[in-house]
Amino acid sequence: MKTQSSLKNFLLLALLLPGVMGGYGCQKLKKLLTKPPPAGVTQESVVIRMSGYEQTVTVRTTPAVLLAYLSDPRNWFSMSGLQTSNKPAAAAASQPAGQVGASFPLKMKKMGLEVSGNMILLRSTEEDLWLVWDNPKMFHLQRWKLKPIKEGTRLTLTMQTEVRDDLVSQVAAGMGIVEVVNKEIDRLMAGIQAHFDPSLNPADLVAKGLRGESYEGMFQSYTAQVGVDASPQAIAKWVSDVKNYGEVFGDLKFSEPITRSYQDMAVGEVVAAPAHFQMGPFKFKIDTFMVKTERKNGSVARLYMVAYGNIALADMVITPDRGGSLIKARMFTEVPSDPSAETMDLFLFGTRIPQVLADKVLAIKKGVEGAGSS
Residue 144, SS3 per DSSP: strand
Which candidate, 257, 291, 251, 292, places its Cα nearest to that of 274? Answer: 257
Burial class (CB in 10 A: 0-12, 13-18, 19+), 38: middle
Cβ distance 224 to 37 under 8 Å? yes
255 vs 12: CA distance, rounded Å: 33
Strand partners, 220: 47, 333
Cβ distance 118 to 106 under 8 Å? yes
Global confidence as pTM = 0.80
pLDDT tens-digit series, residues 162-197 = 887 766 566 666 666 677 778 888 989 999 999 999
pLDDT of amino acid 211: 83
Q: Cβ atoms within 10 A of the Cβ of 65, count?
A: 13
Cβ distance 225 to 350 under 8 Å? no
Length of the chain: 374
Radius of gyration of the chain (CA): 22
How many percent of the chain have pLDDT more than 70? Answer: 72
374 vs 368: CA distance, rounded Å: 9
Phi, psi of 221, rounded to the nearest 5 degrees: -115, 125
Phi, psi of 224, rounded to the nearest 5 degrees: -140, 135
HSE-CB for 292 with a 13 A CA cutoff: 20
Please name each of the domains of the chain with its CATH number.
Answer: 2-47+218-371 (3.30.530.20), 49-217 (3.30.530.20)
Strand partners, 299: 294
pLDDT tens-digit series, residues 286-339 = 888 888 877 666 567 788 888 767 888 888 888 888 889 999 999 888 876 655
For the chain, the average pLDDT equals 78
Residue 373, SS3 per DSSP: coil
